[in-house]
Each structure stands twice: as C-alpha cells, then as structure tokens.
Chains A and B, each alone.
Chain A
Amino acid sequence: MIHKYTLGGINIVLDINSGGVHIVDELTFAILDYIRPPLSEKCPDNVVMALKDDYREEEIERAYSELYELYKGDSLFSSDDYRQFAADEAVLNAPVKAMCLHVAHDCNLRCSYCFASTGDFGSGRRIMDLETGKRAIDYLLENSGNRRNLELDFFGGEPLMNFDVVKEIVKYAREREKAYGKNFRFTITTNGVLLSDDKIDFINKEMSNIVLSIDGRKSVNDRIRTCIDGSGSYDIIMKKFKNLAKKRGDKEYYVRGTFTKYNLDFADDVLHLYDEGFDQISIEPAVCDEEMDWAITAEDLPTIFAEYERLADEILRIRRKGEHINFFHFMIDLGQGPCAIKRLRGCGCGNEYIAVTPEGDIYPCHQFVGMEEWKMGSLDGGNLDTQKKKYFAAANLYNKEGCSDCWAKFYCSGGCNANNQIYAGDVLKPHSLACEMQKKRIECAIMVKAAMALSE
C-alpha cells in the first residue's frame, strides 16, 4: 500500500508497510498512477504510452527503474507482515505500566467543553487521600512485570488542588522504586491557577513532562476556560506558565490547548503561544457532544485542513530562521520512531495504561472515567477485570473497522479508543472526523520534514 500526495509543492510517496517516505519528481509521481504490484523489471508499455506526450521515453524508463529499485528493496508496495504480531502473547498479556492518577475530581475552572463535567466526571467533587495514592504506587510496582519505566500522570480535575498529596505520593514512589528496580516518570496536567514558585520548583525537579492547559489567544481562552465566577482565566495563568517555562530550562513541557468551532483559525493560537515565549505547543480538537455549539462537525473539515496547512507553513517559516518550535501533532521521527509492535497496539489503554479515580476505582483511561459499565476494578479489589483487559489488548489495527486498509494506520495506530466509544459507540469503530483530521496532520508533519530535508 502506498499513499501519495502533494503539499507545499512537494510530491510525497509513503510506503505504508515499510514506513518508507520518498520525495519524488512530477514524472515519478505520475508513473505511480499507472503501476500496481508486482512490478516487472522493465517499464510497462502502458506507462510509456500514457506519459510519452509529456516526457521523453528514456526519462520515463529511468524514473521507473528507480521505483523498481525501491520495490526490490522492500520500500515500495511492501507487504503487511505484521498481523502475526498483533496476537502475540507478549502484547496480549502486557503488564500495567502507566497510570493516569486522578488526585482531584474537583476543579477551580469551569471550562465549558470539559469532558470531565467541569472536573467531577459527573460523580461528585472529591479529592484522593494519601493512602489511596500510595496504593496506586504499590499497584504499579506490583503489576508492571519486567517493565522498568513506569509512568504516572497526576490528573484531575485539577491536581494542584491536592498538591500536598501529590508531593507525598512522589516521595513515597521515590522511596519504593529502587527496591523494585523501577524508574518512575511523573507528569502533571494542570490549568495553572494554583501554580506558585514552590510548586513550580517541585514540579520542575520531579516531573519529566508538564502539560499546561491554555487555549491560545486571550479572547479564545477566556470564552471557554472560565473561572467559577465566569471571568476569564488567561490573565491568571499566562504569567504563571511563563514563569514555569522560564524556570524549567530545557526540560520537556507542553502548553496544550483545545480548539473548537469557535477558533477554527487555531494556527493563530499556536503562533500566539509561540510569540509569548513557549516553544513546545499542542492544540487539539475538542472532544464533546456533537450537539454543542462549539463542537467540530464535518462541515468544518475543509477549514481545518487549510488551517493545518497554514500552520505547517508558519512552522517552516520559523524553523528556517533557525528558531525552535515544536507542535506536538507535527512531531514525527522518521528515523527512530516507535517500533511496529507499538504501532499495532496504539495507546494501550485498558491494557498497559489505566486511570485511577480518587476512590481507587480503575478505568481503561481518563476519558472512560465515570462510565460505570467500563469500570475495570479497584485498587482494593486485586486483579483487573480480565475480560475487559483482554478486550482492550486485542483492540489493535487489525480488529478496528477500516484501519487495516487505511494508509495512516502505522502513524495513528487506530485512533483514540475513548473517542471511538464516545462518538461511534464502539471502541473498535474509529471516529471518522478524528480520522480525517489525523490524516491531515500526518500529511503536514511529513511535509515539514520533507521541506526541511530539501532545504538542508
């Protein structure tokens, strides 16, 4: 399977199963319309016939021979040999090694698009006690098998509303990790309202990554991300985020926003955040009820596609000046990205990744929290619901509707299971709107790589 497209004046050919990324000229791009595997060593007559009015015959044959070399080298029209790995026991029986720890089902903002029902996930405002937090650490230590790196994201609601417990959980984990031969990687996702110098210092010391929630321009942010009294949060959080990023130095962080139908010109929000001094930025489409005013709908797709293209051009403009900007969804490592096995199984939710509520209940991921039918167990209850774990372990590319025939499969890995459930009513049915945006982001991400490679 291949996928060919032209963007930014560059003709790009992706060989899906080998991961091959090729930049080709107009002639070669045209030849690909006339050939299908298996390829013969000699250029087929129909190719020459079709293109001879526009190109010299020997040039057509030379370009074809280059394509044939790629084909022989298994980086064009390569076969999908991965199905055997999808059912591998090591994948199906993966230990739990990542956790989203909901230390507070409460929030000090009232963002209208919040998938967590403004922080309490529809089940009442609660915070996690230290004993539950310690049991969560123990659960990861004891259920992570031979995995050395354990990930724990402090999440909410708003985790800074329970920061004393966060600090004690980190201390407890650091005391215990060596005895188990493990390495905890902590992250935190915060709206920033309660950030202070001492909290920033602790976070910068202990957290390998921080996700700082802000939607971009003040008008955009304050329309949705409001305080309890209805006022905007931008002026409270922006200066605190700047302080954190400045103190953080080279360590990883993201300012992360959500775009909605209200700001389909979201490239301006990315650029605003960049202009304010942030260089690691993520802006994602909103996940919400399609009936909401701000919900993205299919009619928005052409605008969104054009906006991603504009953003790609802007990022190129910045990088060509020798400056650094990293847009999360355009990150792609063509040389050292994840292995094929990782790409088959995707996010790992409900299998190697779980979410834990303030009460100690376990769900497949943070977006499933509050959906009682998806509860997988509790920290007190011993083993996870093995049927549900097996179900999520088998939620790979080959079991999801339409994925195995999609060119983007090894980049997106079947999409977000929670989104699939929320929109399509089935974990195994990808949400088409999300798919279309994802494909556009991948095309843009690879174009940026190609353009930078050509200018080097």
Chain B
Amino acid sequence: MKHIITLNKKNLKKTAAKGGCGECQTSCQSACKTSCTVANQKCEK
C-alpha cells in the first residue's frame, strides 16, 4: 500500500475466542500500583 502502513498484522478479534486463560500477569503486579494499564502486559501463550 502506498498511502497506508499498518504496524500490526494481528487482529484483536482473533484473540477473543481462545483468550481468557488467565495465566498472564495481573497489571498491578508489574509496576503500576496506582493506575491501570493493561495493554502493556504480555500474553503468556
């Protein structure tokens, strides 16, 4: 594409059906103890 560069190839929708395993880190256990950021956590799969 000439006018658009897409940075991510993965569609979030594809993660829904098999997601929710619950093994990933709770966000407050990383470095935020007074705010919530979830998108910066890693998937364990």
Contact = CB atoms under 8 A, between A and B. Distances in A.
Interface of A: 17-25, 27-28, 62-63, 66-67, 69-70, 74-75, 78, 81-82, 85, 88, 90-91, 94-95, 97-98, 100, 115, 147-149, 151, 153, 155, 185, 187, 189, 209, 211, 254, 256, 258, 280, 282, 284-287, 328-329, 331-343, 346-349, 352-353, 365-367, 410-417, 419, 434, 438, 441-442, 445, 449-450, 453-454
A442 B39 CA distance: 9
Contacts of B36: 346-347, 412-417, 419
Contacts of A78: 11, 13
Interface in B13-45: 13, 15-16, 18-45
Which of B5, B6, B9 is most buried by chain A, counting CB atoms within 10 A of its CB?
Answer: B6
Given A70-B6, A453-B7, A258 B34 contact: yes
Contacts of B2: 62-63, 66
Interface residues of B, number: 43
B12 A21 contact: no
A341 B20 contact: yes
A328 B32 contact: yes
A85 B35 contact: no
A90 B23 CA distance: 13
A328 B31 contact: yes
Contacts of A331: 37, 40
Nearest to A88: B20
Given A338-B43, A343-B38, A353 B4 contact: no
Main secondary structure of the interface of A (DSSP, over half): mixed
Contacts of A155: 33
A151 B43 contact: no
Contact of A347 (B8, B19, B28): B28
Given A98-B29, A285-B35, A413-B36, A147 B7 contact: no
B4 A22 contact: yes
Main secondary structure of the interface of B (DSSP, over half): loop
Nearest to B25: A151
B10 to A, nearest CB: 6
A66 B40 CA distance: 29
A63 B4 CA distance: 8
A313 to B, nearest CB: 19
A367 B12 contact: no
Contact of A19 (B11, B24, B37): B11
A449 B7 contact: yes
B34 to A, nearest CB: 4
A402 to B, nearest CB: 15
A338 B41 contact: yes
A336 B10 CA distance: 8
B5 A22 contact: yes
Nearest to B36: A416
A189 B33 CA distance: 9
A149 B38 contact: no
A332 B40 contact: yes
A353 B27 CA distance: 10
Q: Which 8 A-B pairs have the closest CB atoms?
A: A339-B19, A341-B20, A19-B12, A331-B40, A339-B15, A254-B31, A341-B19, A98-B26
B43 to A, nearest CB: 5
Nearest to B15: A339
A416 B5 CA distance: 33
Contacts of A338: 24, 38-39, 41-43
A151 B19 contact: no
Contact of A115 (B1, B34, B41): B34
